[in-house]
Structure 1
Amino acid sequence: MGYETARHLTSLGMYVVIAGNSKEEGVGAVKKIQEENYEGKAEFQYVDLASLKSIRQFVQKFKDRGLPLHVLVNNAGVMLVPERKTEDGFELHFGLNYLGHFLLTNLLLDTLKKSGTADSCARIVTVSSATHYGGVITMDDLQGRLCYCSHGAYSQSKLALVLFTYCLQQRLTSGGFHVTANAVDPGMVNTDLYQNLCSPAQLAKRPVAWLLFRTPAEGASTSIYAAASSEMEGVGGCYLYNGQRTQSSDTSYNEDLQVKLWKQSCALVGLKDEGLRVD
């Protein structure tokens, strides 16, 4: 889906930075996009969202170039992996899917704020999932240390992304910034995310996926809509599915939980929670 999103945004004339942890795949994606001779351009830059150090290094290199940033698409993720830790000691789903994007977004906020205008807001698009409806956030056990379950960990990370999106939009609105934040649900998409299913489930999935699952291009369509549609100009704090505003889980609208998660996340990644001040 990341490739399809990058390809489409490049076709619209954007300069796209594909950020990922596989140089071979990233460079290959750029080459394929360039062969299409789109109006826009694409490049690859390395970042490992499972490493807070790598995220900080990526952001510093990006800022050193003095480039504007009009669209940030938080798309990376893992699903149903066996219990593993990031290099910083976080449970992998929570650390990569959520905390990595939380830190990346916060470190790029000042650039996004400077890039957005009253007529053309900068946009933050974060890919969540319908599994967030079954997610549970327990503040004293955010990383599932008491009882690890891969599905529960994945669902929790996707719920955290929705809570983060809503809290971020509230802060952006309060500060009067020309930046919007939305969460999107791509639906069930036939990608490598399902590679960690058990063997029987893999066999059962194959014939069903071709019939019922979306292609990566179809899955990317809602992210593209949120990132580039004129209908989403100035619109934030939404959960989008099939290009439509949809109700997310009841838990995701819990403002007290949103704030608690934000503050705890700041502590975990080493950010000062100073709010979003007007420069």
Structure 2
Amino acid sequence: MSKWTSARIPDQTGRTSLVTGANSGLGFQTARELARHGAHVVMTARSRTRGAEAVTRILAEQPTASVELRLLDLADLDSVHAFARKISDDGLPMDLLVNNAGIMWPPRTLTRQGHELQFATNHLGHFALTGLLLGSLEKSAAQGRDTRIVTISSVEHRGGKIFFDDLTGEHGYSPRTYYSQSKLANTLFGLELDRRLRATGSTVRSILTHPGYSSTNLQSSGPTGALRFAFAKIANPLLAQPVEKGAWNQLYAATAPGVQGGRFIGPDSRGELRGHPTTVQPDRAAQDLDVARRLWETSENLTGIRYAL
């Protein structure tokens, strides 16, 4: 794994990949590299305009790239259901799902279904999407295809906690604390999904990754006021690595031969803020089996999705 970069991505010809939040940042870079290496890439975005602009950028660089845009709002479970239904109706094969889209540190906001926005977008939407697409992924795996689910966490999952008695933040919301909750939920989900897939003998692999500290619009789309200024003018220019390098971790998890399910891929520097992909250890809280099972059951209840595992 030493010094892996996107130049080492193997040929992806014949594979279909779905990347959520692909109109900018890590998602765009992931979609761009997968397409560059031959994959058919389904790019999702909430905005048709921004999504179309992202597709145009890729095609301008790679005129023969195979990419398509589909609209998806992960904060709205109705949108997730409609999106997955259309994928199924179109008979689109699925070899790779990259659960990338996210939001960070917004003011307390509730979704149409009454969920806290970060928990809904970062975790519940991806939990539902993965469950709804699992049949398509299993079908590809049954044909002997390399089939993976890559879920993007964050170093901010460390020190996080799942507030089962106050998931919406009604009694004590903090933007950063509830972002950490959502990223811990991503990690708990990815690891529990791996355990459940293995228990059924499935060859679909659930892999976790985080990008370290990467310069994206995540820091400017959620935080407000002084926080947004601090990221844009101070922290990002001084500390963040380029988005191209941040995306190495999820691209490695998505494409590198031999990556096992249950692995957590992150940057190799001290503090895991920058560098080349390596296997890192999730926080102890993410390895709590009782919390993982409780979160799974809670997520099923909140989304109405029951996995066929």
Q: Shorter chain as normaliser: what TM range?
A: over 0.9
Identity %: 38
Query: Please, which of 42, 47, 68 is the counterpart of residue 17 of structure 1?
Result: 42
Query: Please, which of 238, 242, 245 is the counterpart of residue 218 of structure 1?
Result: 245
- Normalising to structure 1: TM-score of the pair? 0.93
Superposed, 1:92-111 pairs within 5 Å as: 92-111=117-136
Aligned to 1:230: 257
Which amino acid in the other structure matches residue 211 of structure 1? L
Q: Report the CA distance between 1:272 and its aligned residue.
A: 3.3
- Normalising to structure 2: TM-score of the pair? 0.84
Aligned to 2:201: 176
Which amino acid in the other structure matches residue 231 of structure 1? G
Query: Please, which of 222, 231, 254 is the counterpart of residue 288 of structure 2?
Result: 254
Aligned to 1:88: 113
Q: Report the CA distance between 1:254 and its aligned residue.
A: 0.6
**Helix, strand or coil for the counterpart of 1:16?**
strand
Q: Deviations over 1:19-44 (max 9, x none)?
A: 11011111111111112236541110
Q: After TM superposition, where is structure 1 displaced by more than 3 Å over at least 4 residues in a row?
A: 117-120, 196-205
Aligned to 1:50: 75
Q: Deviations over 1:88-108 (max 9, x none)?
A: 110001111110000000000
Distance 1:103 1:122 in 2: 18
Which amino acid in the other structure matches residue 284 of structure 2? D
Aligned to 1:114: 139
Aligned to 2:210: 185
Aligned to 2:236: 209
Q: Report the CA distance between 1:123 and its aligned residue.
A: 0.5
Check whether the contact 2:106–2:224 (CA below 8 A) recurs between aligned residues: no
Aligned to 1:69: 94
Query: Please, which of 167, 175, 181 is the counterpart of residue 156 of structure 1?
Result: 181
Q: Report the CA distance between 1:194 and its aligned residue.
A: 1.4
Size of the aligned set, in residue pairs, is 273
Aligned to 1:136: 161
Q: Report the CA distance between 1:140 and its aligned residue.
A: 2.3
Which amino acid in the other structure matches residue 175 of structure 2? S
Q: Report the CA distance between 1:138 and its aligned residue.
A: 2.8
Q: Report the CA distance between 1:111 and its aligned residue.
A: 0.4
Check whether the contact 1:135–1:152 (CA below 8 A) recurs between aligned residues: yes
Query: Please, which of 294, 299, 306 is the counterpart of residue 265 of structure 1?
Result: 299
Q: Report the CA distance between 1:117 and its aligned residue.
A: 4.7
State the superposition RMSD in angstroms: 1.6
Distance 2:173 2:235 in 1: 28
Query: Please, which of 149, 156, 169 is the counterpart of residue 124 of structure 1?
Result: 149
Q: Report the CA distance between 1:183 and its aligned residue.
A: 1.2
**Helix, strand or coil for the counterpart of 1:126?**
strand
Distance 2:229 2:59 in 1: 36
Distance 1:271 1:207 in 2: 42
Distance 2:227 2:170 in 1: 26
Q: Report the CA distance between 1:224 and its aligned residue.
A: 0.6
Q: Report the CA distance between 1:120 and its aligned residue.
A: 3.6
Distance 1:166 1:50 in 2: 22
Distance 1:246 1:151 in 2: 22
- Distance of aligned partners of 1:172 and 1:213 in 2 relative to their CA distance in 1, 3 Å threshold: same
Check whether the contact 2:153–2:208 (CA below 8 A) recurs between aligned residues: yes
Distance 2:188 2:154 in 1: 13
Distance 2:64 2:198 in 1: 33
